[in-house]
């Protein structure tokens, strides 16, 4: 097994957020600008703390007067102080690699791209370090980047492109599957309509659902959309009649009446955020130990009030007490992926990420689980 990854430092390097003042903001005060544009980052008190703490510059100069007037074209920079990010694994198994792409086995608990509290402890950081190490040893290796996302608590196959062409073509495969949802020969559980679509990528997941699913196969095509939710600035994805199309085919692998659970394989025909978690929740079988989604594809906590004004050390809102999408605990694994090679268009043999023990069927061999 070939792995990449270096241990995380105790603190990250902080991060800087840049803005160019637009005409519509010219003449506003510094505090007005930040509280209007970034009210989800911190309340008035928090932004005042950041300004007084010399964390904001205007055209390269520190400004500590919150009532300073800003003008069109000025560059504003908010310097977020270094912080200790939550624990996260750092080792990544390489499942496949060539000159155009790399496929990794992402562990549960590791975020793919920077966001929120995780700015350094991400797959992207380890990929950049890996590429840097190769260049230092004389190998002219392009910087690889992920072309799709897996939830922080989701493990399994993650595809990354090394070249601009590979990145674009791999991303197009995922976008094509999301924009047109439909599968050859599948009958929808609710409508009974036959839907057909030829696909160039296949994505198979393993998951542990709560309850005993009666049907051997279930096709779920409920749309997924956004609602307001505390601690998630962009909103939370849920089952929503007004959302975007999403299609999942669920196949029962094993039922366990004693633990009241069902081991399933899920083939997704689209790539909406948290799709499998939402769809299994929608049919009344949320993932076991999912801290966020309850039933009907909705969060367990349904009140969508604004986060209370309690402050972290940097002046921002504290982490909400209610679960957020990045919380782990559930069992979901991107097990198998097959697709056309981004450079040659030849069909690649399935890339398989070995299954964690909790997602294996009784008696399943090492060859079957990809070990």
Q: How many CB atoms lie within 10 A of CB 324?
A: 17
307, 321 Cβ separation under 8 angstroms: no
pLDDT of residue 346: 85
Topology agreement, domain 15-80 and domain 186-369:
no
pLDDT value at position 161? 93
Output the pLDDT for position 137: 61
What is the predicted pLDDT for the residue at 197? 45
Give me the residue label for tokens 């964390």. Answer: 55
CATH 3.40.30.10 correct for 15-80: no
Q: Is the torsion defined by CA of 262, 336, 113, 200 positive or negative? A: negative
pLDDT at 320: 64
Q: What is the pTM of this model?
A: 0.85
Q: What DSSP string describes 197-238?
A: ---SEEEEEEEEEES---SSEEEE---EEEEEETTEEEEEEE
Domain ranges, ordered by start, for the chain: 15-80, 186-369
Fold classification of 186-369 is Pseudouridine synthase (3.30.2350)
- Around Cβ 180, how many Cβ atoms within 10 Å? 15
**Cα–Cα distance measured from residue 117 to residue 283, given in angstroms and rounded to the nearest whole number:** 32
Give the pLDDT confidence score for residue 54 in this predicted structure.
96
Burial of 221 (0-12, 13-18, 19+ CB in 10 A): buried
Residue 302 is predicted with a pLDDT of 60
CB 361 within 8 A of CB 265: no
**Which residue is associated with the tokens 């599957």?**
177
- Contacts within 8 Å (CB) and 24+ apart, 139-143: none
pLDDT at 116: 83
pLDDT in tens, the chain (371 residues): 899 999 999 999 999 999 999 999 999 999 999 999 998 888 899 999 999 999 999 999 999 999 999 999 999 999 999 999 999 999 999 999 998 999 999 999 999 999 888 999 999 999 999 888 777 666 666 679 999 999 999 999 999 999 888 999 999 888 865 654 544 434 444 444 434 444 578 999 999 999 999 999 999 999 999 998 877 878 899 999 999 999 999 999 999 999 999 999 999 988 899 999 999 999 999 999 999 999 999 998 765 443 344 456 677 766 667 788 899 999 999 999 999 898 888 888 789 999 999 999 987 766 666 66
């Amino acid at each position: 097994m070939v792995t990449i990854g270096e241990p995380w430092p105790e603190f990250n390097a902080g991060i800087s957020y840049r803005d160019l003042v637009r005409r519509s903001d010219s003449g506003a005060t510094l505090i007005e600008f930040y509280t209007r544009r970034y009210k989800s980052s911190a309340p008035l008190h928090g932004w005042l703390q950041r300004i007084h703490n010399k964390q904001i510059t205007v055209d390269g100069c520190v400004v500590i007067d919150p009532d300073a007037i800003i003008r069109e074209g000025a560059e504003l920079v908010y310097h977020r102080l270094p912080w200790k990010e939550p624990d996260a694994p750092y080792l990544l198994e390489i499942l496949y690699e060539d000159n155009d792409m790399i496929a990794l086995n992402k562990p549960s608990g590791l975020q793919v791209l920077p966001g929120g509290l995780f700015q350094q402890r991400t797959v992207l950081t380890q990929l950049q370090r890996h590429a840097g190490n190769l260049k230092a040893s004389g190998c002219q290796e392009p910087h690889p980047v992920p072309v799709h996302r897996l939830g922080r608590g989701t493990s399994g196959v993650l595809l990354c492109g090394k070249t601009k062409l590979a990145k674009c073509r791999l991303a197009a495969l995922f976008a094509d599957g999301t924009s047109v949802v439909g599968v050859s020969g599948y009958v929808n559980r609710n409508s009974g309509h036959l839907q057909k679509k030829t696909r160039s990528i296949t994505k198979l997941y393993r998951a542990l659902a709560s309850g005993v699913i009666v049907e051997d196969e279930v096709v779920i095509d409920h749309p997924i959309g956004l609602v307001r939710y505390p601690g998630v600035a962009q909103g939370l994805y849920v089952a929503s009649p007004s959302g975007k199309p999403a299609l999942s085919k669920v196949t029962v692998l094993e039922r366990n009446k004693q633990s009241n659970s069902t081991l399933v394989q899920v083939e997704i025909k689209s790539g909406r955020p948290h799709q499998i978690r939402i769809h299994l929740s929608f049919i009344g079988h949320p993932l076991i130990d999912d801290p966020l989604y309850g039933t009907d594809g909705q969060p367990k906590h349904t009140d969508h009030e604004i986060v209370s004004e309690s402050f972290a050390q940097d002046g921002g809102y504290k982490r909400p007490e209610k679960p957020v999408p990045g919380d782990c605990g559930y069992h979901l694994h991107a097990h198998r992926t097959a697709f056309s090679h981004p450079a040659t268009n030849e069909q690649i043999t399935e890339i398989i990420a070995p299954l964690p023990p909790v997602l294996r069927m009784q008696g399943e061999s090492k060859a079957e689980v990809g070990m």
